[in-house]
Chain A
Amino acid sequence: GEDVEQSLFLSVREGDSSVINCTYTDSSSTYLYWYKQEPGAGLQLLTYIFSNMDMKQDQRLTVLLNKKDKHLSLRIADTQTGDSAIYFCAESIGDNYGQNFVFGPGTRLSVLP
């Protein structure tokens, strides 16, 4: 079945760049997503990329998509302590409007002062 993999932990120093990586299996996904979960809260959409794009930039966030290798990455520039959270990679599967998602296990980002 469909599977999304990502490393579980990442630590960076404040001000450095963070890169969170993800691999997925369903090549027919229309969108690929990054969701952010802050402590004690639900997930919120951070950014997404359409499957026919290679890169998307949104302020401090850069998403890179390599469809050949089924690899997605999220780069956070100038990482701040407020970026400490769990980041989930997700792909939408099925024919309808992303109604079924497969989530990775989440990468816990710790930002050290």
Chain B
Amino acid sequence: NAGVTQTPKFQVLKTGQSMTLQCAQDMNHEYMSWYRQDPGMGLRLIHYSVGAGITDQGEVPNGYNVSRSTTEDFPLRLLSAAPSQTSVYFCASSSSRTFAGELFFGEGSRLTVL
């Protein structure tokens, strides 16, 4: 019963490095999204996708790229990491079949940029 799986759980980067946070879901959900969580600011939407091949920007998209080649996977790419991107990142999925539009979250990926 995997649900939403994120990797890695922890990562330390140097300024300017690039990396990809992986997200996979096995519930056949059409909607997937990435949030970042910062103290006192709640969750802010970075990018989202309503289906394979379709992505759109959320509230804080700068410095991040996404793609959705399959229903299952929704990777988040940091192009050139900056200390301001130090945060906890959550992937979430949902579906029109999900009761009341519930979002299912992964366990999070904690990223530190030095």
Q: Do A and B come from one complex?
A: yes
Asked if B102 CB lies within 8 Å of chain A CBs, one says yes
**In chain B, what residue has the closest Cβ to A104?**
B42
| Number of A-B residue pairs with CB-CB distance less than 8 Å in the complex they form | 68
Docked pose: A43 CA to B35 CA in angstroms: 11
Asked if A79 CB lies within 8 Å of chain B CBs, one says no
Q: Which of B48, B90, B103 makes the CB contact (< 8 A) with A45?
A: B103
Docked pose: A31 CA to B98 CA in angstroms: 13
Docked pose: A99 CA to B90 CA in angstroms: 15
Contacts known (A42-B107, A45-B102, A98-B100); A105 close to B40, Cβ less than 8 A: yes
Chain A interface residue count, Cβ-Cβ cutoff 8 angstroms:
26
Interchain CB contact under 8 A, A103 and B42: yes
| Shortest distance between the CB of A26 and any CB in chain B (Å) | 14
Docked pose: A42 CA to B2 CA in angstroms: 13
Residues of B within 8 A of A48 (CB): 100, 102
Residues of B within 8 A of A106 (CB): 42
Docked pose: A42 CA to B33 CA in angstroms: 14
| Shortest distance between the CB of A41 and any CB in chain B (Å) | 6
Contacts known (A42-B108, A97-B101, A100-B48); A4 close to B42, Cβ less than 8 A: yes
| Shortest distance between the CB of B47 and any CB in chain A (Å) | 12
Asked if B67 CB lies within 8 Å of chain A CBs, one says no
Asked if A24 CB lies within 8 Å of chain B CBs, one says no
Asked if A96 CB lies within 8 Å of chain B CBs, one says yes
Interchain CB contact under 8 A, A98 and B94: yes
**In chain A, what residue has the closest Cβ to B39?**
A105
| Shortest distance between the CB of A45 and any CB in chain B (Å) | 5
A59-113 interface with B by 8 A CB criterion:
88, 92, 96-101, 103-106
Q: Which of A88, A97, A99 makes the CB contact (< 8 A) with B43?
A: A88
Residue positions of A touching B, CB distance < 8 A: 4, 8, 30-31, 33, 35, 40-45, 48, 50, 88, 92, 96-101, 103-106
Given A8-B40, A40-B108, 18 more contacts at CB 8 Å? Answer: A31-B101, A33-B100, A41-B108, A42-B4, A42-B92, A42-B107, A43-B92, A43-B103, A43-B105, A45-B103, A97-B31, A98-B101, A98-B102, A99-B33, A99-B101, A103-B43, A105-B41, A106-B42
